Amino acid sequence: MMHSTRTNASMLCINITPKFVRIRRGVALSTHSSSLRNCQILSSNAERGTKTQRLLLSGNQKLVIDSSTSDDASMGSHFSRARRHFSSPFARVSDKRRHALVTSASSNNNNKITSAKSGLNSTSGGESRLRAINNPSQQREQQGLADALAAGKSASPPGSSRGQEEKEMIDQTYELNGNNFAEQTIATPSDGPIDVLHASSKQTKSWQAVRRAVTTGPVQSNALIGGTPLIDVTSVLSLNPSKVKIYAKCEYMNPSGSIKDRIASYILQAAIDAGDLKEGMTVVAATSGNTGSAIAAACAIRGFDYIVITNKKCSIEKIDSMRAYGGTVIVAKSGVAADDPEHYQNIENTMVAENPGKYFGVNQYDNLNNALAYEATLGPEIIAQTKGLITHFVAGSSTGGTLTGTSRYLKAVNPEIKSVLADPRGSVLWDNFVNDVPENELIVGKWEIEGVGKDSIPGVLSWDVVDGAQRGDDASSFYTCRKVARDLGVLVGGSAGLNLHACAVLSGKIDNGVIVTVLPDSGVKYLSKIFNDDWMNEKGFTGKEKSPEDGEIYWRPGANDPCENQKSSRMFPINACSLQHDTRKQCNDDELNPREQTEAELRFLEETAARMVEYHRQSVKIGEEPVVLMNTPESIRAMFSEAGVGMTFEHQEPAWSEQQLRDAVTTILQTSVRSSSPLFLNQLYAGVDPVALAGEWVSAALNSNVHTFEVAPSLTEIEKSCLEKVARCWLKTNDGVETPEHDGLFVPGGSLSILYSILLARDVADSSIRKAGMDRNNKLVAFCSENAHYSYKKSAIVTGLGEENLVAVKCLPNGAMDPGALRAAIASAIAAGKTPFYVGTTAGTTVLGAFDPFSEIFDVVDEFQNANGKSQRIWTHIDGAWGGGAMLSKEHNHLMDGAERSDSFSWNPHKMLGMPLQCSVFVCKHAGSLSKANGAKAEYLFQPDKNNSGADLGDRTIQCGRKADAVKLWLAWKLRGDEGFAKCIDRSFHLAKFVQLEVENSDGKFVLVQPAQCSNVGFWYVPPRLRPFNRTTATEEDWAELGYVAPKLKNAMQKAGDAMIGFQPIASMGYVNFFRLVLPNPRHITEMDLRAMLDRMDTYGQEF
């Protein structure tokens, strides 16, 4: 028994915060023991690092452990990592289903497979194998190269020979990998293998981008997993080469030399995240060969010790490769029964069961993460590289992961894709699948092909996704390996030969199609076997191969004839039933777009959606990407032309390729402002609530119109529910009290809300205007504050009221409407013979964020209404587009005191809550008023005798078609609740106050315009030459000089890609250009970010 050791190891401690990864130096103290419970390690050579022959004694059994170059202390491994977790958008398993699948996995080694959890796992011990954090500048340089290549740009100067070489490499890589239809978001972390579930967002790129980076410069070794080329073997193997193509994925190009690198990385990382693989544990894996090497490599990267258990059937080359990474290899007997204790799988199970907490068992045959790895990586790659044209997938099976996971993804994309098992004679999988022989009655034969076939049914394998099978044999498989080497110059292993032979057989059984298979490993691992004439002769394989023409494909019932011409799959089969004996002239049943084109377009949609998720992920992190790249209209058009996607339409516009569409999207993103950046502080909207964005996508994908209930039933009712909720909040309705009478609509923007309010007020004042129209003798007059939104003026123009009949009321010093000035303005209008009919107020003015004093203003309105016995109604409206959300906050709802007295109210959730543009609500107190003022009763839409006619919303609007904007608000509100929205609003107000305090305590660098009243704050930046700046003593020239500063400073920040902050003057209040910093979506910005931004502004402005 080895003694326990206690050691101090210097290590990097990584503290994960919501925004940054901060690294600090520290010392970790841990206990390490390499003892084995109920086992004993005997060494014939005690020298460290020497080759030793070891015996593992367990009870009365003695097993030979193959020679390995490792020391006892290295059994304790040490690592320090932090991972962030995100799910591949193309893994076709919902979170709930994935959790159910993973948690339901059973294994003899008590491995608790759970859904991945992000977290920190750090270890230390004897011979520490800590992996240092890579140089950030090197990472940025490499990532910049990958980004440039992904955007189709050269890293070298234009016109240079190196630049031309890079372009040629990029072109070749595109040709090799095919168009990126299903861009798979995977990780290329600086430390650890590629992992689709765990990576920092900065280093998440499509696998094509990674492969392009590989061809043009250095990358981390872990970036080599996945993204393998797809080669065309049609000319050598297809029996119908003109109509049936055969492509093969070169999985032997993964870093450990096989397809198993995919699952090794995935399984270990999932175990780390779930807490099943902890500090000081040793990874134990039973393997027929390739998984052992992959696990060894993954352990080496992560700093774990490992024990790999294989059997004597495994080639010496494979055994040597397992040993090469510094761990232990056990070579067990081959040909023993599946329930024999000396079966290599049972040895793993026993070791783990008897040593809980010491060993982590990979249990690849029953670990459902095995299949999930292929579903998340291999499947999407195949779809992308074949442009979605794959019709058949062929693969052998040992654990079942490749066949199950890949088929699951392929069928999720296109259910018509057929999956075919390639199984060697002697394996029990054939009889179980084809002949339905129960597992306990299966008879195991013998076969020499390594890595495929099985003596029992693995738990990972799912026959539900398998459509057919081809039974191969050793001789034919090995002959195919040699044929491919001879005719194509590709050296592959026996399992690849089995797969390729099955593809050849299949090619003769179908009329047309695209067959894809995998080449799991390289023939280099079998030089002593498959490519050794003596061994082939000794085994009797020479000359015993079978022709593919003589092979057969078994199809599961219902899965035969997979490539027959597909008839219409519509709900009403056009040519099969009612029209079967139709005597009329035959009509065409062809759709405009073939199925392949439709699938390609849908994959482009899927890719773009995933791309935009990643774009948002990068945008919300400060420092990840610039907020804006400075451009002019001319430079933007030039960039589109340079990308080969000219913006101008030609006289006869040709159709673009999918790659041009992809380039167009790339160019759009490159030339657009990242409004989701926390430092986009320029407008009253910013960022986007991800759940609300999902709602936007749902409504856009439904492509429905909420004018009638019959075409948008649920969307109509969702809108009504949102209107009711907003009305209750605005009218301050208590719990348990029935919702007050109300009317409303979601409208395209706050400006339209104001227009609706004036239309309703005009209809109340003079309903004859609907028919007779406005005339120059009309005496109606409306009022709003001089700081109100300019859409009041536009609405006056559109409604025919006229600018002259919209009175701008003077404001108080804080920018809010002055009730006394309103009283005087109304009195003056009446004295002039005009009829006041409308007063528009504001909750949160656009520039200063002022809230009008609603109670006092409505008291003024009531004075005039009471004076004439309310014979002349004055409609009151609150434009709460910006500040109306204060009604949801217990801390700030006092700003809305008296708001419930108004006739109508508008609110833009896209401003302070991050709903995607546009999301604007208009509500009023008077049910039916919208239809009365705007209704046209279109007979082709609003028939009174149709089903549910009373549920239609369309006649309330001035439009015909209208988007379902309520869905995004409804989804987000359901997720976050009232409290979640209130927190968001309170944080916006708080951060504005924080900026105010920073400005006030800036030692004269900044001067405050007005105290923050909403979540915006105005200030001047004072350059050193104008300091100190005293507002009370400053001359007119001083103010003029100060007014020039904001445009210059904003220009400097835009050129640097830094924060975007708007500026403007307020002439009515005598304010020259000042910065208006707004905080409409505060989810991802902090006080520290804002302080740092103000400091940078001072740095930029030193010379102004």
Tell which residue, 541, 540, 450, 551, has the closest CA to residue 494. 450
The amino acid at 443: I
| CA 1000 to chain centroid | 41
Which is nearest to 397 in space by CA: 364, 439, 446, 369? 364
Q: What are phi and psi of 1007, to 5 degrees?
A: -130, 130
**Pair 332, 342: CB distance under 8 Å:** yes
Secondary structure (H, E, C), 1012-1062: CCCCEEEEEECCHHHCCCCCCCCCHHHHHHHHHHHHHHHHHHHHHCCCEEE
What DSSP character marks residue 893? G
Helix, strand, coil shares of the chain, percent, nearest 5, are 40, 15, 40
Would you state the structure tokens that stand for residue 202, as one six-digit string?
């900065």
Please list, in sequence order, all residues whose beta carbon lies within 8 angstroms of the beta carbon of residue 327, skipping any fewer than 6 positions away: 68, 70, 296, 299, 305, 306, 307, 308
Tell me 427's DSSP state: B
Q: 946 an active-site residue? A: no
Q: Which residues of 150-161 are buried (b: 16+ CB within 10 A; e: fewer)?
A: bebbbbbeeeee
Exposed e or buried b per residue across 578-609, where buried means at least 16 C-beta atoms within 10 angstroms of its C-beta: eeeeeeeeeeeeeeeeeeeeebbeebbebbee
- 412, burial (CB in 10 Å: exposed 0-12, middle 13-18, buried 19+): middle
5 secondary structure, DSSP code: E
Torsion, Cα of 65, 67, 69, 71 (10° steps): 40
In angstroms, how far is CA 111 from the centroid of its own chain?
29
Contacts of 150-159 with C-beta under 8 Å, sequence gap 24+, read 150/205, 150/206, 150/208, 150/209, 150/212, 150/666, 151/666, 151/670, 152/643, 152/663, 152/666, 155/216, 155/217
Reference 685, options 848, 882, 972; nearest CA is 882
Amino acid present at 480? T
For CA atoms 776, 778, 784, 786, give the dihedral sign.
Answer: positive
Residue 1028 preceded by cis peptide, ω within 30: yes
* β-pair partners for 517: 248, 394
3-state secondary structure 717-754: HHHHHHHHHHHHHHCCCCCCCCCCCCEEEEECCHHHHH
Stated as kind and residue range, the H or E segment containing 67 is: strand 61-69
The dihedral region occupied by 160, where left means phi > 0, alpha psi between -120 and 50, and beta the remainder, is beta
Cβ atoms of residues 58 and 330 within 8 Å: no
Phi, psi of 597 (to 5 degrees): -65, -45
Query: In whole angstroms, what is the distance from residue 352 CA to residue 364 CA?
Result: 14
Find all residues with CB under 8 Å of 421, minimum gap 6, and list them.
Answer: 395, 396, 397, 403, 429, 430, 433, 466, 468, 469, 470
Beta strands 418-424; 392-396: pairing state: parallel
H or E element that contains 818: none
Catalytic-role residue among 205, 245, 249, 260: 260
| Residues noted as catalytic | 260
